[in-house]
A and B are shown apart, each in its own frame.
Chain A
């Protein structure tokens, strides 16, 4: 592996490690990315939800997942209209304020605002900004071939930035690294699902999110070290409700909001930063690497309100997530002004009602700072559910 961007973390206790990761994830100055750049590395920023980081990594560049930040969008605000989600404004702010320096920015047609984001970004910086057109007709017989071509187009752009070509072997090696990362993240979520008292939702979140701002090889080393520490954690189980959190596929709730939820329940599964866990299985490390990545995106992947796929009706996928995680209730959330998220709340709620699964609906914004009201509402919700269960 080349550049290390983390301070030496070996020898730290589990709590110290978790705190260190949280500090890095909450730092809007992206210290790990700065360190990468100081060592002469180049950076490709990509917006939510999914991005084939393997293509960027194979070229020796650092892919950085951009998902807003808990900052004031002093410059970003002026470039957007009102009635828009916060994430596009704070993401742009990261670039305009110089906190996050890039060689290339890629957005996706996940929603109408995100498509505009690429255009706005491109009008205000000097480096290439573009849209990666992930297919929205996922069940078309032609989608995989198209997506392979689209990935090839992306690869050409990345090669130009890197100043070198990317071979199939480079891609196979990158895919292998990411397969290992996917395996480790799946293990992290297994711990959360099977022994949620060992790993809170906010802790799992920072461990996962850090991967979006450091080389994945280094993330693998960190996770490989920390997972056994979690497994041996001495935390005792408590009588808490098992809950699924849905609504974190794009803009992220503040970490303090997740901490608040963790104080009264076990979040056993969620869609937070689902793009980092989009591919649900290993990708083949032989044959045509771009075709393998394209097929994995379409056929072996998770779900979100911003991908239309007849094979994955979102409410059925949510019910499956609840069943498979053994959850007894769901928090159905959406970022303020997020139209796809708000649209999806309607079928989610109807499906949960039909199944008799208790749910709690709310909206969040990445910059919110007060959680007292949420805590009271959530505790009341949980007490009501427990009380109703006791009556039965």
Chain B
């Protein structure tokens, strides 16, 4: 993310505010339902399903082979938002999975045991599964499908940063070693895709998907950058999650490219006119972690009712698969560039979880952040294990208030709403005091 570039926006006089404002959310939701419909009805058209994850999906390649992408993490969060996650989790626990296993995994196991029954449609079983090591649980998850369906399950191994800030680039011996490994695995993945799909690799189709993906990436970076505006033009947790759905589900598709072009148009329009979210903006916040989906609306309201608006979110970095970094494919060398894109974005996704303190410290000033909310969730050790320590590190580097909450993104049994609300209220008391003191000083 380029923190030095403030958005420069020219007012666009001909656009109708009622059509534009909120269009990203309306269209995002419509396209999302349409996508679920396409995935659900895929088997009727003889289309095959590839199970992938939001980090390292290689969507462009799978798209070029005509696979319908199934995103199990999104399936999981949809059950939580619709308050049925516990039913699925119970079923998986009855099957043998422990209470301490990731809620996403258990919701998926429950869904598989029900033959794909899901609130958004009927999810087809996988013909192929692809997992990266960006989250280790992905690998264990893939092993479950391997056992249930005896399908090809490919692990795409993406070496991450070896230490904080140690990011060798092109030409460095370590970078080239990592890149050669990922490049080799991409070739192996192509072979598997050919076998499962029954199609030959088509470079033109890949380049087409990459062209759409490049457009989406440019616009995604612009979307995130536009929230430097005051007031913020979108809530990075709620609106941001709608955008993330499109980033992942529509990656490499024309609908995705069109959608993000429109979102940028909407947000530039708002920025130029000083239009913010529907809520008063008293405190600009950053969010770290995964939202609390079992009480999604109430969770957001805990902050907006105090005038707390999330202007940035680590979720928009890692759950977009690291595409927030702005990496664009070199269309002249599609497979080489696909491999490099997987390496670079996978590494960014990991860094924004394991070394999030460094990213936050850089974000605070350009985005005018007053406070940071760390949301540790029981299910996800990838995101949550280091949050307590990251919080300590950030507080040493940046002049902000910070709050650490514990709950879950899936399992309502782990979400203690009243306790969270108390802590959030206290956090805002601190922010208000800070504001008063700053006012007195000035």
Contact = CB atoms under 8 A, between A and B. Distances in A.
B403 to A, nearest CB: 14
Contacts of A345: 96, 98
Interface stretch (A40-48, A51-59, A75-83): A75-83
A132 B378 CA distance: 26
A150 B388 contact: no
A81 B376 contact: yes
B228 to A, nearest CB: 27
Contacts of B185: 137, 140, 142
A137 B155 contact: yes
Contact of B181 (A124, A143, A153): A143
A84 B380 CA distance: 10
Contacts of B173: 149, 153
Contact of B381 (A78, A116, A150): A116
Interface in A267-309: 305-306, 308
A340 interface: yes
A84 B385 contact: yes
Interface string A161-178: 000000000000000000
Interface stretch (B60-68, B139-147, B219-227): B139-147
B384 interface: yes
A37 interface: no
A336 B354 contact: no
B140 A340 contact: yes
Nearest to A338: B100
A349 B163 contact: no
Given A84-B385, A137-B155, A142 B354 contact: no
B184 A80 contact: no
B96 A119 contact: no
Interface string A335-348: 01101101111110
A113 B101 contact: no
Contacts of A82: 376, 378, 406
Interface string B147-185: 100000101110111111010000001100110110011
A323 to B, nearest CB: 20
B381 to A, nearest CB: 4
Contact of A80 (B102, B164, B350, B389): B389
A305 B135 CA distance: 15
Interface string A67-90: 000000000001111111000100
B155 A339 contact: no
Given A339-B101, A342-B97, A133 B163 contact: no
Contacts of A308: 139, 142-143, 155
A345 B380 CA distance: 19
B179 to A, nearest CB: 10
Contact of A349 (B96, B155, B156, B157): B96
Interface string A129-141: 1111101110011
A116 B137 contact: no
B139 A136 contact: yes
B136 A84 contact: no
B382 interface: yes
B387 interface: yes
Interface string B401-412: 000101000000
Contact of B164 (A119, A339, A344, A347): A119
Interface of A: 78-84, 88, 109-113, 115-120, 122-124, 128-133, 135-137, 140-143, 145-146, 149-150, 153, 305-306, 308, 310, 334, 336-337, 339-340, 342-347, 349-350
Interface of B: 95-98, 100-102, 105, 133, 135-137, 139-140, 142-144, 147, 153, 155-157, 159-164, 166, 173-174, 177-178, 180-181, 184-185, 188, 350, 353-355, 357, 376, 378, 380-382, 384-390, 392-393, 404, 406
